[in-house]
């Protein structure tokens, strides 16, 4: 009890001292600011296509009026070089305050970014090695080239969106997050080399500690790396003083010390998953392996027990924030397990040997083969039927997954569970779960159309943080954007009985609008798309062309038929260079006629282009339905929504997204104009039809 109280007091003191600095920047919520700070993490690509980094602020204020302040923030920027750990950067951005439990006090969505001073010292050396290794790796063929930097040094920026989705579906995404396994490899390698040279125990530990510190700097101190590094340090100290500790005790001591120093790590999924997975390997894996050994050879039981323990323990945590659970993770991890350490070790050596190009090229090419095997495993297993099951993230899903995981563990453990009746109860729960799963598979598969109202003409799919809206008229179908994830879109299309998309509108090429293209590839007639920006945009269109689609860029004035309805493009202007490709050049389309409500789909337009669209004179008359721009961000033009005078507004956003969408300012547009707010984050899939000229609405879940 004394230890618990001491830890609690230490955490409270840390939070109290940091809160003063965090509160100082909250006044800048929902404002355009200029900020200067030091990069404090590696950059990773978010689902919105931006690079995201943690920055320790040195100053913030209105553009041109920066004043000194210190606080952690999270910054999203368009891809740019130089945002390495230790660099001093300057951004102009729209800010949003975070919840109290998050480590960053603000999230900054940058419109302009520059590097004031590049990283120096060991951080510069580490960044140089990483960049050289990434460049060397990406010259190799796919699959595997983009994955190799993630396996070796945890840099996932080169991983293609399709492969990233496959890794998540197959439960292999943890391989690209530097973890305790990587730290163990480094420490073990240094110990082995030092022992070969005849070093004593003390010297071996010192050298291993230095090697571990260098590795942490090289890969940047992410939550799982911090946890693994501290735990390795505690273990080496216990060896040095001659009193080795149990693994569980070392893990508890490491996690406690880290949380005292940085309590906000407790809210990061990466840290929680890292600690829980390590605990499962220490405490649960031996029990499961003994249980599995009743039916199979001991080596195979151990090989299955290790990933199974991690999956059972981590499943409830994943269910708190993820919208899907992998059902093929165990098989995928068994297939990938032999290749992962080989790719990691050889890839790390290739990174360190960058000053010797010939040797580095040889090592990178050697590491490419196991990386390609892992990529092929992810692709193959993610395509299996029922590879994932969709679950609404939250406490209830976590409790359900925890119950099923516990039952699986009890059944496999067998005689290790000595409480009478527990195994029988666990078996009954699993049998009931299997029956419910089969019923769900039938209702979302062969019987899906029987559970869906037939009178719908517009369907806003629940695809998380993204857009995917179907419009149907006389059995012809238009799809406006595809959401971020093929699985979510495929489930929606399947449930609605859609097997042909006559018109696909890709408003712009952000991942939350085109990431699900694979779900409709080969079933699209015509594609109308926004302006091209990155090479990946053209590759997306090439995939659709290969499936037989005709492709054309959308400009204002373009029009056509959809069954008995008409559609026309209202934005962007032909040959317009007012904005770069992206949100503000989104294709805006209106569709209406016959049984289809007159509807306006605004893509991701911000307030300024919304105003230009309003003053163009192309918005004529009232609309029945408006798909709110940019998932309900705060950057809206109220005059446009007043002109549209819609009966309902659709907010297509993901539950608990990082942006706070839909924002209160956007929701206020509905109440101000007497419109009904339809939210996919709260109500799931939204279906809309016309009944004697009035809107009829069906939702997957009742409104709150």
- Three-class SS string for 559-603? EEEECCEEEEEEECCCCCCCCCCCHHHCCEEEEEECCEEEEEECC
Cβ count within 10 A of residue 606: 19
* Residue of 325 and 526 predicted with greater confidence: 526
**Residue in 520, 446, 465, 462 with CA at minimum distance from that of residue 490:** 520
* Residue of 610 and 126 predicted with greater confidence: 610
Q: What length is written for the chain? A: 704
Tell me the CA end-to-end span of the chain in Å, nearest whole number.
42
d(Cα 326, Cα 382) in Å, to the nearest integer?
Answer: 9
Extract the tokens encoding 263.
Answer: 């309590």
Given a cut of 70, whether residue 234 has pLDDT beyond it is no
Given a cut of 80, whether residue 406 has pLDDT beyond it is yes
CA-based torsion, 50, 56, 58, 60: positive or negative: positive
**Residue in 172, 481, 50, 488 with CA at minimum distance from that of residue 164:** 172
From residue 373, alpha-carbon distances to 17, 149, 387 in Å are 48, 15, 19
Least confident of 14-18, 209-213, 409-413: 14-18
CA-based torsion, 593, 598, 601, 605: positive or negative: positive
Extract the tokens encoding 420.
Answer: 């009478």
CB 691 within 8 A of CB 702: no
CA-based torsion, 140, 142, 148, 150: positive or negative: positive
Extract the tokens encoding 580.
Answer: 């770069």
Q: Using DSSP, state whether 325 is helix, strand or coil.
A: strand
Mean pLDDT of the chain, nearest integer: 82
* Residue of 548 and 42 predicted with greater confidence: 548
d(Cα 148, Cα 235) in Å, to the nearest integer?
Answer: 29
SS3 content of the chain, % helix, strand, coil (to 5): 50, 20, 30
Phi, psi of 480 (to 5 degrees): -105, 105
CB 217 within 8 A of CB 122: yes
Q: Using DSSP, state whether 689 is helix, strand or coil.
A: strand
Average pLDDT of the residues in 107-131: 83
- Beta strands at 51-61 and 72-77: parallel, antiparallel or unpaired: antiparallel
Least confident of 1-5, 140-144, 436-440: 436-440
Average pLDDT of the residues in 284-290: 82
Residues 608-632: tens digit of each pLDDT: 999 999 888 888 888 999 999 999 9
d(Cα 185, Cα 152) in Å, to the nearest integer?
Answer: 11
Per-residue pLDDT band for 240 (boundaries 50, 70, 90) equals low
- Beta strands at 44-45 and 458-460: parallel, antiparallel or unpaired: unpaired
Extract the tokens encoding 507.
Answer: 């408003």
pLDDT of residue 446: 55
Average pLDDT of the residues in 320-339: 78
Per-residue pLDDT band for 560 (boundaries 50, 70, 90) equals very high
DSSP lists the bridge partners of residue 389 as 325
CB 486 within 8 A of CB 324: no
Given a cut of 80, whether residue 4 has pLDDT beyond it is no
pTM over 0.85: no
- Inter-axis angle of helices 269-279 and 298-321, nearest 10: 150
pLDDT exceeding 90 applies to what percent of the chain? 20
pLDDT of residue 487: 81
pLDDT of residue 160: 76
Which domains, and CATH codes, for the chain? 2-119 (2.40.50.140), 122-171+336-384 (no CATH), 179-267 (no CATH), 448-698 (3.60.15.10)
Average pLDDT of the residues in 649-661: 87
pLDDT exceeding 70 applies to what percent of the chain? 88
* Residue of 330 and 87 predicted with greater confidence: 87
Given a cut of 60, whether residue 451 has pLDDT beyond it is no
Least confident of 147-161, 580-594, 645-659: 147-161
CB 327 within 8 A of CB 357: no
pLDDT of residue 17: 67
Cβ count within 10 A of residue 430: 16
d(Cα 189, Cα 61) in Å, to the nearest integer?
Answer: 48
Q: Is 78 exposed, middle or buried (0-12, 13-18, 19+ CB in 10 A)?
A: middle
Per-residue pLDDT band for 523 (boundaries 50, 70, 90) equals very high
CB 649 within 8 A of CB 675: yes
pLDDT of residue 627: 95
CB 171 within 8 A of CB 204: no
């Amino acid at each position: 009890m004394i230890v618990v109280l001491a830890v609690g007091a230490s955490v409270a003191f840390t939070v109290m001292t940091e809160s003063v600095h965090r509160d100082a920047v909250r006044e800048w919520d929902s404002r355009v600011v200029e900020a200067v700070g030091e990069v404090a993490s590696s950059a990773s690509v978010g689902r919105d296509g931006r690079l995201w980094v943690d920055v320790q602020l040195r100053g913030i204020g209105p553009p041109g009026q920066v004043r000194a302040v210190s606080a952690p923030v999270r910054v999203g920027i368009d891809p740019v070089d130089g945002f390495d750990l230790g660099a001093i950067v300057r951004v102009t951005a729209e800010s949003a305050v975070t919840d109290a439990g998050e480590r960053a006090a603000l999230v900054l969505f940058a419109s302009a970014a520059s590097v004031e001073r590049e990283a120096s010292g060991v951080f510069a050396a580490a960044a140089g090695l990483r960049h050289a290794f990434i460049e060397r790796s990406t010259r190799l063929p796919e699959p595997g080239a983009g994955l190799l930097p993630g396996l070796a040094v945890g840099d996932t920026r080169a991983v293609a969106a399709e492969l990233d989705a496959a890794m998540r579906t197959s439960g292999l995404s943890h391989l690209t997050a530097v973890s305790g396994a990587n730290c163990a490899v480094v420490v073990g390698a240094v110990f082995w080399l030092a022992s070969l040279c005849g070093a004593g125990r003390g010297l071996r530990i010192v050298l291993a500690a230095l090697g571990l510190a260098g590795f942490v700097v090289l890969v940047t101190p992410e939550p799982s790396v911090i946890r693994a590094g501290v735990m390795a340090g505690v273990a080496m100290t216990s060896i040095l003083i001659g009193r080795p500790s149990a693994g569980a005790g070392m893990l508890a001591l490491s996690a406690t010390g880290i949380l005292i120093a940085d309590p906000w790590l407790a809210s990061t999924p990466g840290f929680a998953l890292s600690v829980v997975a390590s605990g499962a390997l220490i405490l649960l894996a031996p029990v499961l392996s003994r249980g599995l050994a009743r039916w199979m050879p001991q080596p195979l039981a151990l090989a299955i027990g290790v990933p199974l323990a991690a999956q059972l323990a981590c499943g409830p945590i994943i269910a708190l924030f993820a919208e899907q659970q992998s059902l093929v993770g165990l098989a995928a991890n068994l297939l990938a397990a032999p290749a992962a350490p080989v790719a990691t070790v050889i890839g790390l050596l290739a990174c360190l040997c960058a000053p010797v190009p010939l040797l580095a090229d040889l090592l990178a090419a050697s590491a490419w083969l196991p990386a390609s095997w892992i990529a092929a495993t992810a692709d193959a297993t993610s395509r299996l039927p029922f590879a994932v099951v969709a679950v609404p993230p939250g406490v209830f899903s976590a409790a359900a997954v925890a119950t099923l995981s516990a039952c699986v563990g009890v059944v496999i453990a067998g005689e290790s569970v000595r409480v009478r009746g527990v195994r029988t109860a666990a078996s009954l729960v699993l049998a009931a779960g299997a029956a419910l799963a089969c019923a769900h598979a039938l209702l979302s598969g062969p019987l899906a159309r029987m559970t869906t109202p037939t009178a719908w003409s517009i369907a806003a799919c629940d695809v998380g943080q993204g857009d995917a809206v179907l419009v149907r008229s006389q059995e012809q179908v238009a799809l406006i954007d595809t959401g971020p994830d093929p699985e979510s879109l495929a489930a929606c299309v399947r449930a609605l009985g859609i097997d042909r998309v006559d018109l696909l509108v890709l408003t712009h090429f952000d991942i939350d609008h085109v990431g699900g293209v694979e779900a409709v590839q080969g079933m699209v007639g015509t594609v109308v798309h926004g302006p091209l920006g990155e090479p990946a945009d053209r590759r997306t269109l090439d995939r659709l062309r290969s499936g037989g689609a005709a492709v054309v860029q959308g400009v204002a004035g373009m029009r056509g038929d959809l069954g008995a309805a008409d559609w026309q493009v209202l934005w962007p202007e032909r040959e317009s260079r007012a904005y770069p490709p992206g949100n503000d050049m989104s294709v805006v389309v209106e569709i209406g006629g016959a049984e289809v409500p007159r509807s306006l789909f605004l893509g991701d337009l911000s307030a300024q282009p919304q105003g230009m669209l309003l003053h163009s004179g192309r918005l004529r008359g009232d609309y029945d339905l408006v798909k709110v721009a940019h998932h309900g961000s705060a950057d809206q033009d109220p005059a446009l929504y007043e002109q549209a005078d819609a009966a309902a507004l659709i907010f297509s956003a993901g539950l608990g997204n990082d942006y706070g969408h839909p924002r209160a300012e956007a929701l206020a547009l509905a109440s101000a104009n007497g419109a009904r707010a339809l939210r996919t984050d709260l109500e799931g899939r939204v279906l809309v039809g016309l009944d004697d000229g009035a809107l009829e609405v069906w939702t997957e879940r009742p409104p709150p």
